Structures are given as C-alpha cells and as structure tokens.
Amino acid sequence: MSESTFANDDAGDSENALKYFNQIQDHLLIEQNVRERLAEYLTKLDQIDRKIQAVIQKLHRNPVQSVVYETCNVIREECKQTIEIYRGINNCLEGFHYYQFHDVWKFVTQRLSSAACLCVYLESGQLASHETAAEMLGISTKQDGFFLDLEDYLHGLLSLASELARLAVNFVVSGDYKRPQSISDFLCSLNSGFRLLQLKNDALRRRFDGLKYDVKKVEEVIYDLSIRGLIKK
Amino acid sequence: FIIYIRMDVTSITEHFQSFSEKLCSMQDKYERIVKLSRDVTIESKRIIFTLHRVGSVDSDEDLLSNVESRMKQVYSNLKRIADELKGDDPYRYTRAYSPGLQEFVEAISFQYYIKNKSLISYDEIKESLTFHCDADEIVTLLIPITDYILGLADLTGELMRSCINESGESQPEISNEIRRFILTVYEFFQYVNGLESCSRTDFGNKLNVMKQSLCKVEKACYTLKIRESEFSSGATIT
C-alpha cells in the first residue's frame, strides 16, 4: 500500500489524501511561479516588439533612404535592450528546461528575429544567418544555455518575406523602382532555400505555404514596372 | 549603406541545407517517439481491458500474470523513448509521447488500485520510469506532472466502469470504496482547476467527464442502498 498517498478503507484517510494532493499542487505551483516571473520579462519584450513594429510602419509609409537608415538604427538600438531581458529569462529557467516554457517567448522572439533579419537585409541585401540573428538579440544558437530556436528563426524569415513583399509595393509608391528587383531576387532565393527543407505537416510548413503568395506579389510588381519600361530587366 | 549588392545565393543554399539536416533529424526522432507512444497506448488499453475481467469468471492469476507481461512490454517501449531522448531537452518531445504516458498512467494506476485499493503516487511512477542499463547507466523518462494528473482522470472513468459492473453482483462495499476514491480525486481536481499548467491541457474536458462518472457511481451506490432496504438481507452499506 502506498504510504505517501491514501488508502481507501476508512473515512479518516481523507486527511492523508489532502496532504498528498497538496504535494502535487506544490509541483504545479512551482511551474506556475516560473511562468509568472517569465510573464514580467515577456511584457518587456512585447514593449520592444511594439516599438520596432511602429518604426517599421513608418518605413512603409515613406521608404526613402533616410527612413531606411533610421529604421535600421532603431531596430539595432532596441535589440540591444533585449540582451538583458533574455539574460533575465535565462536566469528564471535555472533548474528547468528551455522547452518547458518555450511557448512563453516563442512568438515574440520570432518577431524580433524577423526584425533583426529585416535590418540586416536593408543594410546589406544579405540574409542574416541563424547565428547573426541570435547575436543581434544577445543570445546564442547552441543548446547549452538560452538560444534562438531554429524554427523560431525560420518563422521569422517567413514573416520577413511578407514584410518585404509589402515593402516592394511601397517602394514603388515612393518612386524607388530599383529596390523591388532585389527584393524579388531575395524572396526567390528564400523560396528555393525553404524548398530544400523537407517540412512535415506542421506549423512551419503551413506558414511556408504562404511564401509563394509573397513571391508572386513581388513578381507582379516587377512585371508592372518592366512592361512600362520603368526598369530594365 | 550598401543597397543594391548582389545577394549571395550559394550561401543561402548552404544555410538551408544545414537547416534541413538539423530539422530532419529532429523530425525523424519525433516520429519514432510518436510510434513508440502509440505502442504504449495500445498495450496499455489491452491491460486495462484485461484488468476489468479480474474478479469475474476467469482465473485471476492468469489474468494478472498476463497483465504483468504486457506491462513489461509497455515499460520496454517507455525505455526506448527514454533512450531516444538521451542528451536532448525532453520537453521538446513531450507532446510526442504524452498520450502514451497518460494511457500508461491509467493502466498502472488501475493495476495498483486493484492490488492495493489505493492511489499510486507520482513519485512511485517516476521511480518506475528510471531504467537501469548495463554499465551502471541510468536513463530516466520524464513524466510531466500534468500527464500523471490527466491519467488519473482517466482512471476514475475505468473505476466507474468497474463499479457499474460490480453493482450487478451486489458488492456494495466495493462500489462505495470506488465512490469515495473518485470523490477524493474530484475534490483535488477542483483544487487545481484554474492553474495555468492545467488550463493548457485537456483538463476542463476530463473534469466534466469525471463529474459524470462520479454521478454514475453515486447513483449505483444509491440503487444498492435502496435495494438493501427492499431485501432485508442484512447487507449494509457503510
């Protein structure tokens, strides 16, 4: 008979039952506790994410060179703030597992990674590697400590594709007919890259299915520009 | 600020090729664990089915030894999951084997209840999931406490079924024991209802089902009590 839970033969054992269930509840409360502490850090990350989103909207409104420059500066500045926050999150996880609470920071990290990659693209036309994106957020890619989950980074890239597709349209609106072409090339490369991944039927796969619409959107922009002789193909 | 640089296509391809390798190995492992979990589920369900027959027509000893050997099979599959998870963050894969775990908890706690008339503890289950390999190596399968709790909820369903079957044979003590047991588990569930770890699972659903099981058992005990007064056989319900 289990001494640590309760026996069912006499009514007086409901006390034992209560004691045992209190132990179980303590287990749950420990995890609850960690989530509450993580929630505070999440709020800070959300604030940074909102600031970055605001500056990206400004970029869409008027994507001239000076605004592009300012956008990248803001993104880099805000990302510097995330270093402390991720360190705080890592400390909360002491004695626990990364993936136990991954769902807490998953979505906001995807958006921040996407912003970091946007910044690198706007500055250099290149794809920020997994390591680069992680570095900008002040975290690593190695799984011995706090890291940028690979799938989160890939989700971020797919968001980036949508953002750039929209930006291509807005570049044209602002009279820049050259940048859409490089965006088109970039999205095509991303598309071939993603096709190399043998994705199963999961969230990443469903998100990836949307990439072809972004590619198509930019191709239409290029088509509109080239038949009017606004760009040389 | 370089705007129109020709982007480096080959490096993008290289990057994605390395991503592909990493993702594939994780996904393959996930699939293998899902398959093992399914085997655990199937075998556990057979165990539960067999346990329901204990105390009726067939010989108890044969049934229980059948259960023992099936249980060994379940443990061997659980150990294989633990082996797969060696060196990994187990929480990455808990969704893959959570259903199997819950079914396992249901089976083993049912077996335990039949033997000991009490509840197997979380610690005891955790201990049974510590496997000793050769060369003094110890490998443990992580069981999140939510899977224990949800498996417990399923147990109450099985006990309800067992009680309804018993009622046919007029064993009021057994029915009443089950009633008190389920009631205690139900009280506990009320206690932890609303805690976040529980709300992200099937908890609310199982709580409803448990309530229904509890009512069925209470009704069964009620019927037996009424019957007892009709036939003054001297049988009493405590």
pTM of the model: 0.87
Mean pLDDT computed over B133-144: 88
Measure in Å the smallest separation between the Cα of A13 and chain B Cα atoms.
10
From chain B, pick out residues whose CB is under 8 angstroms from the CB of A126: 5, 7-8
Find the CB nearest B89 among A99, A150, A186.
A99
Contact state of A199 with B23 under an 8 Å Cβ cutoff: yes
Kindly report the nearest CA distance between residue B55 and chain A, in angstroms.
19
CB contact under 8 A, B23 and A151: yes
Chain B nearest-CA residue for A66? B1
- Dihedral, CA atoms, B33, B38, B39, B43, nearest 10 degrees? 140
What pLDDT shows up at residue A1? 39
pLDDT band at B224 (very low <50, low <70, confident <90, very high): confident
Residue B170 has a pLDDT of 58
The average pLDDT across B90-109 equals 96
Burial of A67 (0-12, 13-18, 19+ CB in 10 A): middle
Q: How far is B173 from chain A (nearest CA, A)?
A: 10
pLDDT, position B2? 42
Residues ≥6 apart with Cβ < 8 Å to B182 = B156, B159, B160, B210, B213, B214, B217
Q: Tell me whether residues B17 and A196 touch, CB distance under 8 A.
A: yes
For B194-211, how does the pLDDT look when each residue is reduced to its tens digit (9 = 90+)?
777 777 778 888 999 999
Which chain A residue is nearest to residue B179, measuring alpha carbons? A8
pLDDT exceeds 50 at position B1: no
| CB-CB neighbors (< 8 A) of B143 in chain A | none
pLDDT recorded at residue B232: 62
Q: Could you read off the pLDDT of B3-36 as tens digits, one per residue?
A: 444 556 678 888 999 999 999 999 999 999 999 9
Q: Please give the Cα distance from B104 to B109 (Å, whole number).
A: 8
B11 contact residues in A (CB cutoff 8 A): 127
pLDDT at A202: 87
Residue B192 and residue A25: Cβ atoms within 8 Å?
Answer: yes
Chain-chain contact of B7 with A1 (C-beta, under 8 angstroms) = no
Instruction: Give me the pLDDT at residue B8, please.
Output: 67
pLDDT of amino acid B71: 96
Compute mean pLDDT per 10 residues along chain A, 233 residues long, and list them: 49 70 88 94 97 97 95 96 95 93 95 97 93 93 88 97 97 94 94 92 92 96 94 73
pLDDT tens digits, residue range B161-203? 988 886 666 567 888 889 999 998 898 888 788 777 777 778 8
Q: B130-132 and B138-140 as β-strands: parallel, antiparallel, unpaired?
A: antiparallel
> Exposure string (b/e) for A145-163, b if CB count within 10 Å is 16 or more?
ebbbbbbbbbbbbbbbbbb
